[in-house]
Homo-oligomer: A and B are copies of this chain.
Amino acid sequence: MSVEADIRPGEVAVPLPGRGDAEVFFIGRIRTPWPDRKSCPKHGDPVAGPVCRIEVFEPWTAALAGIEANAEIDVLYWMHSARRDIVRQQPRSAGTTFGAFAIRSPVRPNPIAASRVAFLGLDRGVLLVRGLDCIDGTPLIDLKPLSCPAARSTT
């Protein structure tokens, strides 16, 4: 795992547990125009942001059946370049520190991000979406509709 940032004054790091408690599968790969964290936008824009591709790997493409019914989906991904041990952080623009759970920094015990995106299309296991802000090549871990199909058919 690469380490992107050193500790700033006032930040606090803790020793990580020796082993994890559960295993995540990388079920796909996110393709964006941004090769590194510095070039990523601060927030994704589901209206004016660029179209990004989400490539779903086998054997998981069968799980996409019916996803086209959604105008928006939640994308969960693994921020593989972020360190996990800084519990108290000083965001670049802030003059003070915050706990990792009080900010949406990629640096957190489990580097999982959740982004709500506009769904534009699906072609053979590849989704086209708008609204991401992550590094090109970021591992995908989940796709979720905002509600269940039963709720959609009645509202």
Interface residues of A (CB under 8 A from B): 12, 14-17, 19-27, 59-60, 62-67, 69-70, 73-74, 76, 78, 80, 84, 87-88, 91, 93-94, 97-104, 108-110, 112, 114, 139, 141-145, 147-150
Q: Name the one of B14, B78, B97, B149 contacting A94, with C-beta atoms under 8 angstroms.
A: B149
> Contacts A59-B15, A102-B149: A110 and B142 contacting too (C-beta < 8 A)?
yes
With both chains docked as a complex, state the minimum distance between the C-beta of A44 and any C-beta of chain B, in angstroms.
13
List chain B residues, Cβ under 8 A from A142: 101, 108-110, 112
Q: What's the number of copies of this chain in the assembled complex? A: 2
Given A65-B102, A66-B98, A101-B143, 19 other A-B residues pairs in contact with their CB atoms under 8 A: A12-B62, A19-B23, A21-B25, A23-B23, A63-B101, A63-B102, A64-B99, A65-B98, A65-B99, A67-B101, A73-B101, A74-B114, A91-B148, A101-B144, A103-B149, A104-B145, A110-B141, A112-B112, A112-B142
